[in-house]
Chain A
């Protein structure tokens, strides 16, 4: 080793042609080594977390035993960090064009994640064409999202409101830039998804995080559930209303509610024409609903059966919010609805007394889950 560092010896060595060639190879190797060393040191000295060290904590989702099992996409498992990021994004108006509208603007926890309006209001006061759907138990919806089922998954659904003109009226490329240059989000995305650099933040990861948060929005602790669990009892009116709801007694009138509002979700997730719109033909529905998506004329005027869980908190009712109260809703069903070729035959004239109505409404109110709307895990993180 000393030989190499002796100048004279080095000169003699270099004069030899063979040795000169060997020297050039050694120099090349030394250069490569230095370059690699530089790259490694540069990586280590940067603030970016080391790749491969990332891991996220599985989210301990407590699924109610009396519910169907939630369908979890294999490419978006629930993690504590993912759900936390999703919650931040859900409540953050940064997603909208003017920084004024968040997902939570139309899905408020106190309204069981609906908004109390007939038609939702987006940026600059623009009115949407339909009422905001409640999000309780939305993680169980596997027959499509929205009133017309146009999105196949929560991940697909979460991409849409950002670019809808009457909702957030923004542009995902712009939102991605805002998230990448945000003082907080790059770290949150790293924790949730292990990204190496802010530029890896994409709309798809944002949608995944929002979907994760939405899958945690489980409402299964209403009085109805407590009665099922033997922890509470129905009043006489509630019990009678339950029998009417499920057509469970030959002594009581039938409401036909339970055909579509199947428990435990109180929706079968399907799409029906429930006769709220009077039309002369199937082509005349002002909002074609499901038919606009499937292009099948018999789907015109069909809309998703909404959940009745927390129904007391989600007025006004129907896709266009035409009914302000549960009493109005019942009056509609008692009438038998407007005829149409595709009117669901389960919607038929009912023979109800005033007591039948009030008892049925008493039962419906047992589906109110106050622990759901007051759950601190679902609250706006920016106001804590």
Chain B
């Protein structure tokens, strides 16, 4: 008799719990994937040498960037926040297979409905750029990459080596670090999306690094002339920031 009673109590408890869950919208899951390429070839650190302008070639060791205030845009003009800040780093992409997988940001609990696109800031938004690692408990995207001399974060880091004479040697050391409030810019990507409760949707972004370094023709960072900039030369860091804005695309 007691066993039966306990079974009934446990069963009703389970039913109640299930009923409670049913009443709460579970939302949908959005995977935002970023793949890096260099002139459409998968972007792999260290291993791959990429042909560049004027017979030069490059190898990469680090490519990373910050994105801020990532929001989904609704049909009524309002937005659903997905992330305050994210650091997308290709530092550990060491094989073509890893490059094909890319870097994924997972967001969940997004209300079901129709969305018209996604907006994100390229770099660290000014309100966050005025903070410092002292404001965060690691691991956090903003616990590193802080430039105390500039009182702000490095938005984009590109590090690697260049073969400037076409002989297969890569002696030129490349370090381009950019970041300042005046080059922070939001970009909106239009795409109609229907998110359903419990369903997963994937958005695939691409960033082609060659397009960040070169606009083609004679308009490119010439590694025979310049191998580094740490936000010192406005013509270089705005070139990189503007190109990055154009090169980031939603597939």
Complex contact B138–A71 (CB within 8 A)? yes
Complex contact B137–A298 (CB within 8 A)? no
- Kindly supply a per-residue 1/0 record for chain A positions 212-223, scoring 1 wherever the CB is within 8 Å of any chain B CB and 0 otherwise: 000000000000
Whether, in the assembled complex, B225 has its beta carbon less than 8 Å from a beta carbon of chain A, the answer is no
Cβ–Cβ < 8 Å partners of A30 in chain B: none
Complex contact B136–A247 (CB within 8 A)? no
Distance (whole angstroms) from the CB of B229 to the closest CB of chain A: 11
Complex contact A345–B160 (CB within 8 A)? yes
Complex contact B144–A345 (CB within 8 A)? no
Minimum CB distance partner of A247 in chain B: B230
Whether, in the assembled complex, A263 has its beta carbon less than 8 Å from a beta carbon of chain B, the answer is yes
In the complex, what distance in Å separates the CA atom of A150 from the CA atom of B32? 32
In the complex, what distance in Å separates the CA atom of A296 from the CA atom of B147? 29
Distance (whole angstroms) from the CB of B173 to the closest CB of chain A: 4
**Which residues of B63-100 have CB atoms within 8 Å of chain A's CB atoms?**
94
Complex contact A298–B46 (CB within 8 A)? yes
Distance (whole angstroms) from the CB of B61 to the closest CB of chain A: 6
Complex contact B149–A69 (CB within 8 A)? no
Complex contact A346–B159 (CB within 8 A)? yes
- Kindly supply a per-residue 1/0 record for chain A positions 275-302, scoring 1 wherever the CB is within 8 Å of any chain B CB and 0 otherwise: 0000000000000000000001010000
Cβ–Cβ < 8 Å partners of B175 in chain A: 256, 259, 345-346, 348
Whether, in the assembled complex, A67 has its beta carbon less than 8 Å from a beta carbon of chain B, the answer is yes
In the complex, what distance in Å separates the CA atom of A298 from the CA atom of B91? 11
Minimum CB distance partner of A72 in chain B: B137
Given A65-B134, A342-B61, residue A262 in contact with residue B94 (CB < 8 A): no
Whether, in the assembled complex, B148 has its beta carbon less than 8 Å from a beta carbon of chain A, the answer is yes
In the complex, what distance in Å separates the CA atom of A296 from the CA atom of B227? 27
Cβ–Cβ < 8 Å partners of B45 in chain A: 298
Cβ–Cβ < 8 Å partners of B143 in chain A: 68
- Kindly supply a per-residue 1/0 record for chain B positions 134-165, scoring 1 wherever the CB is within 8 Å of any chain A CB and 0 otherwise: 10111100011011110000000001110000
Whether, in the assembled complex, A339 has its beta carbon less than 8 Å from a beta carbon of chain B, the answer is yes
Given A247-B149, A298-B46, residue A67 in contact with residue B134 (CB < 8 A): yes
Whether, in the assembled complex, A341 has its beta carbon less than 8 Å from a beta carbon of chain B, the answer is yes
Given A68-B137, A262-B144, A264-B134, residue A248 in contact with residue B149 (CB < 8 A): yes
Cβ–Cβ < 8 Å partners of A339 in chain B: 171
Minimum CB distance partner of A243 in chain B: B149
Q: A348-B173, A348-B228 are in contact. List 12 more A-B contacts (CB 8 A).
A: A71-B137, A142-B139, A246-B149, A250-B232, A254-B230, A258-B147, A259-B177, A262-B144, A262-B146, A263-B148, A345-B160, A348-B175
> What are 12 A-to-B residue pairs whose CB atoms are below 8 Å?
A68-B133, A68-B136, A69-B138, A70-B137, A71-B137, A246-B148, A296-B94, A339-B171, A341-B46, A343-B173, A345-B159, A345-B161
